[in-house]
Structure 1
Amino acid sequence: MLQIPICGLLLLLAAPASEEPLSVRLRALSAVGSAELPRPSRDGSRLAYLTSLFGSWQAAVMPIDGGYPIELTAEREGVVSIRYSPTDPRQLAAVVRRDGRRRIVVLDDQGGPAEEVDRSPGDQLLGGFTRDGRRLFFATVNEGKGRLFQFQVDGNKATELLPGTIPPATGTFASAPPYTPPPPRDAGSPDAGPADAGRTSGSAPGRPASAALSEVLPDVQALGPPSPDGRYLLLVTSKGGGNDVWSIELSSTRATLLTPHEGKARFADPRWSPDGKTVYVLDDAGRDREGVDAIVFATRERKTIYAPNRRVEAYALTEDGHRLAVAEDASGETVFGLLELPGLRAQPLPQPPSGALAPAPEGESAMAWSTSGDRLFFAWSQADDTTDVLGFRMGFGAMVRLTRSPRPGVPQGSLPRPSRMTLTGSDGKEMGAWIWRPSSGSRAKLALLVTGEEVRPVFEPRVAALVAAGFAVLGVNPRDGRGKLETGEDAVPDLLAAVRSVRSQQGDLDAQRPLIVSLGKGAGQAARLLKAHPDAFSGAVAVDASERVPGVVVSASLPDLVKAAREKAR
């Protein structure tokens, strides 16, 4: 009598993911965890990182070689980033979300409460600690106005930086004088990058070499760290579709432009050399892809350090300045390189499993070295597995997985893997794309994924949820004639052309009036597509939208996303 129920139960357990109830699948995908943004402690004994293990994004700490994590925060809206003090191996600074705003808190890794550094309204941007760990710099942006602060760690007090707040200091590092273009230089060795190595761009029209801090702060996008002598602070601005890096003299609060250039360019992740004479930066000025440049602080001369034939996603410099780790985009996946400075001699570095480097929030580095420079930490995403923290130790010859996030109800091999496609753009050029297909044989409805960033072939729960609901999800990386990713108005014709290309290539897909699915920064792209061609799409749904778009349904959960997508696709 018990044989029939038992056999039925066994058949149910053995059924593939495509045959299980959709609600069960969505519940399982919602429970998949992740671990990102690792940061080692000063003494090299512990590793702080962000994890969704506790139900939302919280900070946790574990032994440096892996182990059970201890939750450090209990923020209702989650944690954005975490860093250790450069001197106190127990103290940390974190960026959290409170009432929809980014706020900076200080805490310890022993479970102490997280205290805000300042109560001024607005979003707070974390700069960094001084080398002695006594001061922490941050900016507050509210209603289009910016203010710069220093937080005295010992006194637990924040003070706005105005001229004279910090007395002038005498030091060995040269200040930045008015810019004078240097004479042309010959290219360096082939290992140093392309033929434009050492070349410095001309001054940017409309961007003065020096400005008052109040003129620069309204455009602030991220803060960099203070200089080793504590006299300057780096600041990244965003204006007119491009970026610039400025140095702020803390005693006078004058801002000096470090990145004069022509045309639009992206500058990000500025970092000081140990002696404070050089600023490293990730940028695409004067070339069609990002690379690592070095700016001589005294003259603002910018030269190429490393710019291969592939886009450099991220870099990390050891504290002693002798090792430079680089992450390069190879057809959507990431490969690592290790260079010795100043000779740029390549060093062997093992590669992790096929996947991509998990991106970091604005102002943070995606990779982090230990203080001694013998270990490199980063978060790694894969097509069929969770995003987790990996580490590499010099001389040990292998990448080690340090966390293993939960994936209950999502067995190995059950996640949809993307396939690479080559599509035709609006001007006939080829574009790379990725498509996730449902396993069922029915004619799937096409959903166009727009993120405002590079679409990578890695696991994304929201994409997996749509695939489970029967959608085929297409992610396109439109590029201009120089190979740069298009994210503004110029992307609209190429995205429309990509849909037409899929329609002609993939007869088994329903690509008539596809659905737009917007994630994060893709909200702007969705708005432009709907405005330019409202009848070309069945509608749009958004998750974690960076802006409100009329007519776009915003979803807060995977069931809401699938429900909205099905209603729009009717």
Structure 2
Amino acid sequence: METIGVKQYLHVRTAEHPVYSPCGEKISFITNYTGLPQVWELKHDESWPAQISFTEERIIFVQYISKSNLRIIGMDVGVNEKQQLFLLDDRGELTPLTNSPEHIHHYGGSSPDGKWIAWSSNRRHPAFFDLYIQNLDTLEIQKVFTGDGLFEVIKWHPSGNWLLIKKINTNLDNDLGLLQLATGEVKWLTVHEGEAIFESPHFSEDGKKLYLLSNKDCEFTGLAVIELSTNNFSWLDQREWDLEGLSTSHNKKLLAYTVNEGGISKGVVFNLQENTIYTWKTPIGVITEITFSPDDKKLAYVFNSPTLPSDIWELHLTSSLLKRITFVSRSPIIENLLIEPELIEFSSFDKLKIPAFFYKPKTAADNVPVVIFVHGGPESQIRAVYNPFLQYFLNRGYAVCTPNVRGSTGYGKKYTHLDDVRKRMDSVKDLTYLVEWLKSNGNADPEKIAIMGRSYGGFMVLAAVTHYPELWAAAIDIVGISSFKTFLEKTSPWRRKLREAEYGSIEQDSEFFAQIDPIHHTDKIQAPLMVLHGANDPRVPIEETEQIVNELRERNHPVQYIRFEDEGHFFVKLQNNITAYTSVADFLDQYIGR
């Protein structure tokens, strides 16, 4: 079989963040078609979109202002995640709104009359996010809430007199409240015991109810409704899987969301008046960013699968006609080479069943080299989506396995907490049992198994090669943590509290960190290592990479290091990605290639 270069896989573009214009005749979305995420616009009577924004930095999101054709966008510099807000007009001109580049700004929507926007920012203190509103005529900014915590504006109440706000307690626990703009008082709506999330909230048409997704007092996230006058909480749809991505129609009669069945999405439309549920068929993949058209007759969403990279699809609700409306990801050179995975399970050391996606190359034979890719988070989940470099590895003849080790989301609260703090290394041990499964059931060459991961997955790579060094023929760490102690000392101040809930704290767990941190066990590493990092990373400081690279170089261990000066925690620019993953592919070919 002919092999294709990594460039062809990385040149596959993506489409995201679809939003209908107020009249519904066109959709704005973000695509990296030019190599950098920009706003494009598709009219329903045209077959190809037009570019609307022309910036030198990535655009993170786009939304319309209420009762206006003006769009608001978010943009940072060098992928440093210090998002600023701008108005974008039809000529591609930008009007700066926040204009405080040293701070982060999270958008919270526009008022019903379109005259104000809301956002949160850590302007007052780097560790805390206060709430602001801004007049779009005068650009006047008013601080409306101050608190020593992590607060965000979710949206405006239909009356325009309240803001729906969120207090983030941990990554897995939050509360929602109504902030009265006239008085600054907050009525908290979701007071609860134990851990619970309350997400994707939407008001009813009269503003008296709140539809949302929650896992309050249960293992999985379901669909619920809160009566705002009494705070009464009741369920509308509960399943043995998480529900995700709730959206409401403009007339508030329909709810749309997805069911996450082991990393694969199933779409759902819930008719509130008829109390009926409608689903539609899609290939194996993931549905995100569902949005209704202004006339509520259509549903646009992003669909991403291993064989159908991220594009926007549209479902006509009356005819059930499903249509792909963007084709920015289409690449005839590779589309017939893309491979769907098999969903497998393996038993770990304590008999716990661990799910994983196993991709077999089309040329699979006995003793195949394997790349294990570990997701970040750790409160996250590997999904059945297109991944350019993993598909490239398959084309090169490698098998690929992407496990959701203990600690992953999507399998209930209990499963997510199985790797907390002192149980951290149990998830690393899961990887060793995956290796045994691959040898016994996946035709893996025991001498050619590599491990790769990014962010927290990078820690998993470093932990695996330091604590189980004999298993690995090669390792790739992308923006990974080499020491929880130094990571917590240097990560963004507002992020530290969130991470301590998962990893532990320096004050209470330093001794444990010293036992497990890869930086203290570099002498045990046997596998050659490749490491990549962006200099502007606000999440995992680049020192995490450079301290372990320096240690390995001092003892002449084979290590390759690529530092990107104009990237952050994510590599956004096309040429940088080509450089990164061409180098990774060459590294794998050198150490585990046939």
User: TM-score band (shorter)?
Assistant: 0.7 to 0.9
Select the residue among 13, 16, 21 that pairs with 1:36.
16
Superposed, 1:290-309 pairs within 5 Å as: 290-309=221-240
Select the residue among 459, 467, 472 that pairs with 2:394.
467
TM-score by length of 1: 0.77
Aligned partner of residue 276 in structure 1, secondary structure = coil
Report what 1:517 is aligned to: 452
Q: Which moved more, 1:33-42 or 1:260-269?
A: 260-269
Aligned partner of residue 29 in structure 1, secondary structure = helix
For structure 1, which runs of at least 5 residues remain unmatched after alignment?
Answer: 1-15, 163-212, 359-365
Select the residue among 114, 117, 121 that pairs with 1:133.
114
How many angstroms apart in 2 are the aligned matches of 1:390 and 1:87?
25
Report what 2:516 is aligned to: none
1:447 partner letter: I
- Indicate yes or no: 2:285 matched with 1:355: yes
Select the residue among 342, 350, 363 that pairs with 1:427.
350
Report what 1:506 is aligned to: 441
Measured at CA, do residues 250 and 564 of structure 1 come closer, stay the same or move farther in structure 2, by a change above 3 Å? farther
For structure 2, which runs of at least 5 residues remain unmatched after alignment?
Answer: 480-533, 550-560, 564-575
How many residues matched?
Answer: 487
Measured at CA, do residues 75 and 309 of structure 1 come closer, stay the same or move farther in structure 2, by a change above 3 Å? same
Report what 1:405 is aligned to: 328
Report what 2:142 is aligned to: 160
- Indicate yes or no: 2:72 matched with 1:93: yes
Q: Which moved more, 1:25-34 or 1:232-241?
A: 232-241
- Indicate yes or no: 2:423 matched with 1:493: no
How many angstroms apart in 1 are the aligned matches of 2:166 and 2:447?
42
Report what 2:194 is aligned to: 263
CA contact (8 A) 1:503 1:509 kept: no
More helix by share: 2
* C-alpha distance after superposition, 1:251-286 (max 9, x if no partner): 333344322222222332222222221222222121
How many angstroms apart in 1 are the aligned matches of 2:157 and 2:425?
41
How far apart are 1:28 and its partner, in Å? Answer: 0.5
Report what 2:146 is aligned to: 214
Select the residue among 235, 257, 261 that pairs with 2:165.
235
How many angstroms apart in 1 are the aligned matches of 2:214 and 2:463?
27
CA contact (8 A) 1:161 1:250 kept: no
Measured at CA, do residues 224 and 54 of structure 1 come closer, stay the same or move farther in structure 2, by a change above 3 Å? same
How many angstroms apart in 1 are the aligned matches of 2:203 and 2:470?
51
How many angstroms apart in 1 are the aligned matches of 2:133 and 2:93?
21
1:559 partner letter: T
How far apart are 1:479 and its partner, in Å? Answer: 5.0
Report what 2:494 is aligned to: none
Q: Which moved more, 1:349-358 or 1:25-34?
A: 349-358
How far apart are 1:468 and its partner, in Å? Answer: 3.8
How many angstroms apart in 2 are the aligned matches of 1:479 and 1:125?
31
Aligned partner of residue 378 in structure 1, secondary structure = strand
- How well do the aligned residues superpose, as a CA RMSD in angstroms? 2.9
How many angstroms apart in 2 are the aligned matches of 1:398 and 1:323?
18
Report what 2:294 is aligned to: 371
1:76 partner letter: E
TM-score by length of 2: 0.75
Report what 1:547 is aligned to: 540
How far apart are 1:399 and its partner, in Å? Answer: 0.8
How far apart are 1:473 and its partner, in Å? Answer: 2.3
Report what 2:133 is aligned to: 150
How far apart are 1:50 and its partner, in Å? Answer: 1.0
CA contact (8 A) 1:40 1:64 kept: no
Report what 2:57 is aligned to: 77
How many angstroms apart in 2 are the aligned matches of 1:373 and 1:484?
38
Measured at CA, do residues 67 and 243 of structure 1 come closer, stay the same or move farther in structure 2, by a change above 3 Å? farther
How many angstroms apart in 2 are the aligned matches of 1:387 and 1:508?
31
How many angstroms apart in 2 are the aligned matches of 1:530 and 1:280?
46
Query: After the TM superposition, which segments of 4 or more aligned residues of structure 1 sit over 6 Å from their partners?
Result: 567-570
* C-alpha distance after superposition, 1:258-317 (max 9, x if no partner): 222222223322222222212222221211111122122233222212212332122211
Q: Which moved more, 1:505-514 or 1:316-325?
A: 505-514
How far apart are 1:130 and its partner, in Å? Answer: 0.8
